[in-house]
Amino acid sequence: MRLLPSLFRVRVSHPPGGAAALRVRRCACSSPGRRVSKADVNAAYNIQKTFPDVLAEEVEDATRIDMHTAWHCVRKHMKRYDVMCKAWVITWPYIRVVRTATIKKGLSYLLIMLIKATHDDFRVVESPKITHERDDCLVFSVTKSGWDTTLLVKELAKRLMVSQKRIGYAGLKDTAARTTQWMSVKGVDPEQLENVRLPRVEITSIMQGDCISIGDLKGNRFEVVVRDIQWDASQIKHTLDASLERFSSYNGFINYFGHQRFGIQRPITADVGRHLVKKEYEQAALTFLAKQYPDDPHADIRRELWDSKDFKRAYEEFPHSLKYERAMLFQLGHKGSTYLESFKALPERLQTLFIHAYQAELFNEIVRRRVQEIPPNEVEIGDMIMIDKFERKATTFVNSSNMAKVRGLLRQTVSLAAPLIGSKTIFPRSRMGEIAREVLTEEGLSCPDFENHDHRPFSSTGSTREVVGRFSDLEYTIDEDEMFDAKKCIVTFFLPRGEYATELLRQLFGQDVLPFGVETQ
């Protein structure tokens, strides 16, 4: 069976207002030698039923389809539905199709701006902290495109024949982007590193240095192309300037965790974390393995697993691209492991990510409620603040004796902070603390629940995070979008570590700014 039919999955729906809207869904990645799954067969059937002529489209190489082929393949069948559809395909390693529908007769539609239409549209350059106290590692720069950081580390370890634990990095970088970051490796000769050849990976600037650990960076510099903006240039400029004025009054932007913290296509990370904190290991495992979302190309096989709990069968049916799910399924179906034990098949960093994502979800809700009542650039007695003038940020509380000084420093080195709730969280003695306790009570939890004696990676003592994110060197240019019949805006800026570019962009434009390929319902 040819792989071409699996590239497109379409659905025609009729929203309120009567006009038909085409939904072109992101589908499974196609790669040489990839086994055709049941999801592929279903996708082929669905499109053949809806648009019978599409399967007659001739494509020489099913792993690479250019924009014009995709546009022709989809658009020629749109006339009957009185809707214009713009389509784009990103080639290897992810083949995606997305739609933006312009509904005729003046009907309104949700304005969505797109990022990451190509990897070069989202560029990230890490600003590292490299030290030379021991010089017992090789430190090197890695520029990658289309690679998940953890998978790249695994492949590097394999090529260098060392444990993954010997490779250090300061933070995870986007997969659908062109990113440059620094890594370290211990016990390897420079010649070995120089001889590593991986697709879309460039290793440079090899030198001696200290091992790099999570958090060993100052921040990241971004250059982002925001596409498909359905405004004229004056409206874009007015919106961005108004947002920058608001940011100036707040001393920054609201420092929410971005959507990638929770997952985009399957936002289950925080849900898994919630179950793990509550020691609901069966629900946590089933959520990770089998919870379905509309835009997940593997929703059918997940649904079968959800209904049957047949882990042996699921292990055979899940594609090899879902390597983490397959690792857990093997433990459950073939090793007879408990639900808790099955999580141990995952990398420890991923295990801790579940808990951190849940903490991030709670943080976002606490901050959202607090800024609805009190502006983020105001503090009250009892609030927690973070002071950023030392190598490590210090935390203290606002009281009557330091209130005037704190207010004076809010534009400089002092920021209002909110708790990332854990087993040792100390709540602010202010409205912020009251909100945090309310949120935790609504979740049916208390701080000691974040301590897990069954499995250490599922424990967290908690931390704090600034409510306002600080950016610098923000500039933008507006131009015609060569990919869509719209405007594009190129935005450059620097963010300290831990702050999310997608969240800054969302607040900057005042609209949803989504990664390319994500479908809105």
User: How do residues 231-258 score in pLDDT, each as one tens digit?
Assistant: 899 999 999 999 999 999 888 999 999 8
Q: What's the mean pLDDT when you consider all of the chain?
A: 78
What pLDDT is attached to residue 341? Answer: 96
What pLDDT is attached to residue 377? Answer: 86
Q: Which two tokens stand for residue 35?
A: 């086994």
What pLDDT is attached to residue 199? Answer: 92
Distance, in Å, from the CA atom of 379 to the CA atom of 417, rounded to the nearest integer, reads 10
Q: What is the pTM of this model?
A: 0.74
Residue 491 pairs with which residues in a beta bridge? Answer: 224, 476
Distance, in Å, from the CA atom of 85 to the CA atom of 74, rounded to the nearest integer, reads 8
What pLDDT is attached to residue 175? Answer: 85
Query: At residue 84, does pLDDT exceed 70?
Result: no
What pLDDT is attached to residue 513? Answer: 58
Strands 512-515 and 112-115: parallel
Q: Which residue has the tokens 């292990």?
A: 315
Which CA distances in Å does 501 have to 114, 173, 219? 14, 12, 11
Question: What mean pLDDT comes out for the span 246-275?
Answer: 89
What pLDDT is attached to residue 210? Answer: 93
User: What single DSSP character describes residue 34?
Assistant: P
Question: What mean pLDDT comes out for the span 53-59?
Answer: 33
**82, 120, 136, 174: the active-site residue:** 174
Query: At residue 178, does pLDDT exceed 60?
Result: yes
Query: At residue 77, does pLDDT exceed 70?
Result: no
485 is catalytic: no
Nearest 5°: phi and psi at 88?
-145, 145
Query: At residue 348, does pLDDT exceed 80?
Result: yes
Residue 139 pairs with which residues in a beta bridge? Answer: 184, 207
Confidence of residue 488 (pLDDT cuts 50, 70, 90): very high
Nearest 5°: phi and psi at 512?
-70, 125
Which domains, from first to last, does the chain contain?
4-109 (no CATH), 130-215 (3.30.70.3160)
Query: At residue 380, does pLDDT exceed 50?
Result: yes
Question: What mean pLDDT comes out for the span 162-167?
Answer: 92
What pLDDT is attached to residue 58? Answer: 31
Question: What mean pLDDT comes out for the span 265-282?
Answer: 94
Residue 14 pairs with which residues in a beta bridge? Answer: none
The answer to whether residues 172 and 149 touch, using CB atoms and an 8 Å cutoff, is yes
What pLDDT is attached to residue 514? Answer: 54
Question: What mean pLDDT comes out for the span 270-278?
Answer: 97
Q: What is the 3-state secondary structure (H, E, C) of 402-454?
A: CHHHHHHHCCCCEEEEEEECCCCCCCCCCHHHHHHHHHHHHCCCCHHHHCCCC
Q: Which of 47-56, 415-424, 452-461 has the lowest mean pLDDT?
A: 47-56
Question: What mean pLDDT comes out for the span 184-207?
Answer: 93
What pLDDT is attached to residue 516? Answer: 52
Query: At residue 463, does pLDDT exceed 60?
Result: yes
What pLDDT is attached to residue 389? Answer: 64
Nearby residues of 91 by Cβ (< 8 Å), 6 or more positions away: 63, 64, 65, 66
What pLDDT is attached to residue 381? Answer: 94
Distance, in Å, from the CA atom of 52 to the CA atom of 300, rounded to the nearest integer, reads 23
What pLDDT is attached to residue 479? Answer: 95
Which helix (H) or strand (E) segment holds residue 494: the answer is strand 486-496
